[in-house]
Amino acid sequence: MSLTSIDANDIAALARGCAVLGTGGGGDVRTGSLAAVRAIREHGPVPLTRLADLPEDALVVPLSGIGAPTVSHEMIHGEDEPRRIVEEIERIFGRPPSAIMSSEIGGANGVAPVAWAAQLGVPLLDADGMGRAFPEVQMVSMYVAGLPADLVVMSDVAGNVVTIRPVDGLWSERLARAVCVAAGSHALMADYVLTAGRARGAVIEGTVTRALEIGRATQGAADPLGALQDRLGAARLITGKLTDVERRTTGGFVRGTATIEGTGDDRGRRLALELQNENLVATEEGRTLAMVPDLITVVDTETAAAVQTEGLRYGQRVTVLAWPCDPLWRTPKGLETAGPAAFGYDLDYVPVEELMARA
């Protein structure tokens, strides 16, 4: 039977799955988990609804944190930011939302919407706009589907509310990022507010359920890493030790490079990961092993718990996994939006399964 609500007992598995789907970004799931558990205890379980269960004119509000994950540890959202955003959306549309949706299922942005839905007293939609995490505002399925990005509403911890009417998705990123930086490189944002009718075919459905399934796959498993790899259908790029991490926060992003030196069967190998909030490209001696929009995640070798980019530390024993993205991202528009060239890499996209077959 399909899941119809999320209670406090589901949050640990959800967080685990969202961390994996975050590909290093989306924010640390620990703060989102604490907020979700607390909100459920105060307001009750959150109904989980499917798009098919909503009427055509039902208003869906995608919510996410925007900014550098390293900053989110110190600038934690409370109940006021989502409330301010929803009040502004109600003022604009003349009616309250019928559901909250995670803009990205990866990281804290996949878990925190449970708290926001509980606090606001509305269901959570079993869908998101990425099927993973991406660092820029326009990198969502709604943009790829051609929906106009004509409204962004943002709020920060200081109480500011900013409404933006961008001309397109690229301008939504530029303007929202400028507001985010002014707010201290972290804010809460609603973008691509849409009706259920317009959401059909423009969002990635079933991703909350998928995150829960991923999280549950490793709980109590004798071989957590193997269980996770099987659940994802992922390729193992390397198992080893983190020997170097270069990371900086600039322009509202975390950017950098991480180096993993192989151990055991991978001794003598060295893998480099390029980061921009998320893990973008994995290379070994100039040979590309995986690249966006496919998913690349660093996990603890013993527990299979995902390690966010801001949590990478020298000496960690990790395994790097990669697996195919949602088919939407492999379309021409999807690759234009979130393929390697969109991040400045002079690489022609090759699916991870093809790259690994060549290895």
CATH class, domain 5-208, is alpha beta
Mean pLDDT, rounded, for 3-19: 95
C-alpha dihedral over 209, 110, 170, 289, to 10 degrees?
-80
Confidence of residue 253 (pLDDT cuts 50, 70, 90): low
Length of the chain: 359
279-303 per-position pLDDT tens digit: 999 999 999 999 999 999 999 999 9
179-221 per-position pLDDT tens digit: 998 988 789 999 999 999 999 999 999 999 999 999 999 988 9
What CATH fold (topology level) applies to the domain 223-358? Answer: CV3147-like (2.40.390)
Closest CA to 165 of 179, 186, 145, 181: 179
- Indicate the pTM of the whole model: 0.93
Mean pLDDT, rounded, for 220-235: 96
- pLDDT for position 212: 97
Stretch (H or E) spanning 81: helix 80-93
Domain boundaries, the chain: 5-208, 223-358
Mean pLDDT, rounded, for 57-81: 76
Closest CA to 173 of 138, 141, 132: 138
Distance from C-alpha of 64 to C-alpha of 270, rounded to nearest angstrom: 35
Percent over 70 (pLDDT), the chain: 94
Distance from C-alpha of 218 to C-alpha of 303, rounded to nearest angstrom: 8
For the record, the structure tokens of 303 come out as 């527990």
97-139 per-position pLDDT tens digit: 999 999 999 999 999 999 999 999 999 999 999 999 998 889 9
The answer to whether domain 5-208 and domain 223-358 are alike in fold is: no
